[in-house]
Each structure stands twice: as C-alpha cells, then as structure tokens.
Structure 1
Amino acid sequence: MQTIYRLKASELDHYFLEGLKATFQDKEIEIIVYEVNETDYLLKSDANKIRLLKAIENVNNRTNLVEVSLDNLE
C-alpha cells in the first residue's frame, strides 16, 4: 500500500500522526520527506511550460498584462 500526503510542515500535528497509525496499524512504514517545488511540477507538462515561459516573457516585456485596481475589489 502506498499513500502520499502533501501538506505544509506547519500542518504536522498529533492528528496527522494518529491518522498514520490508524491507516497503517502495526505495519512497518517508510517516511521520506522532501520539499515540493511547484515550478518543477508545473514545468513537467509541455503545455504548462510553454504557458509559464510566455507569461514570464510578458511580465519582463510588460506586454499582455492585466491591471487590477484594489479599489474595484471592495
């Protein structure tokens, strides 16, 4: 059985540990912890990669930008 939990380190608490214990009971488990890089994940898809790189180019060139007034958000 394999389960992936994705959460912030600040969300680790005794409820999480109790959930692990309940899920796996007396089975031996292995815990691997690594920092998630959202950019790497998003760049795996060619479509996302093209869109993100184009967005970066637009920001750098100040083209195709949408301006939002905070006054209009209230």
Structure 2
Amino acid sequence: MSTVYRLKASELNNQFLEQIKAEFADKEIEIVISEFDETQYLLQSESNKNKLLQAIDNVKERQNLVEVNLQDLQSAEENEQKNSF
C-alpha cells in the first residue's frame, strides 16, 4: 500500500502523527521527505511552460493585464459564500 500526503512542514502536528499511527497500526512504514517545487512541476509541460513564460513577458511589457477592483472582488467573494450555503 502506498499513501502520499502533501502538506507544509508547518502543518505537521501530533494529530497528523496519530492519524498515521492509526492507519498503519503495527506495520513497518518508510517515511520519505521530498521538497515539492511547484515552479518545476508547472514547467514540465511544454504547453504550461509557454503560457507561463508568455504571462511573465506580458507583465514585464504591461500588456494583456486585467485590472481588478478590490471592493468588487470582495463583494463577489461574499456573494459566492452566501450562495454556497
């Protein structure tokens, strides 16, 4: 059996450890820790890479930018939260 947990180091706590103990009981387990590089992951796909690099160029050249009014964004978020219940 293989289980993958992805979380921030700051999110590790006793509850997480107890969950692992409960799930695997007296079985021998192996814990492997690897740092997750989101940028590297996103650049693996040629299509994603091209889109991201184009977006960076757009920001540098101040082209194709979208302006967002913070109050409008907050209002939209509040309305979405009200409608989700």
Q: TM-score, normalised by structure 2?
A: 0.75
Instruction: Report the alpha carbon displacement of residue 34 of structure 1 after superposing the two structures with TM.
Output: 2.0
Q: Which runs of 5+ in 1 are unaligned?
A: none
Report % sequence identity: 61
- Bigger helix fraction: 2
Residue 51 in structure 1 maps to residue 76 in structure 2: no
Residue in 2 aligned with 1:4?
4
Instruction: Report the alpha carbon displacement of residue 49 of structure 1 after superposing the two structures with TM.
Output: 1.1
Instruction: Report the alpha carbon displacement of residue 69 of structure 1 after superposing the two structures with TM.
Output: 3.0
Higher relative contact order (CA 8 A, sep 6+): 1
CA–CA distance in 2 between the matches of 1:18 and 1:2?
Answer: 18
Residue 24 in structure 1 maps to residue 24 in structure 2: yes
Residue 60 of structure 1 aligns to a residue in which SS? helix
Q: What does the per-residue CA deviation read over 1:2-31, in whole Å, with 9 as the maximum and x for residues that have no partner? A: 111001111111110011111111111111
The 5 A counterparts of 1:33-52 are 33-52=33-52
Instruction: Report the alpha carbon displacement of residue 42 of structure 1 after superposing the two structures with TM.
Output: 0.9
CA–CA distance in 2 between the matches of 1:19 and 1:71?
Answer: 41
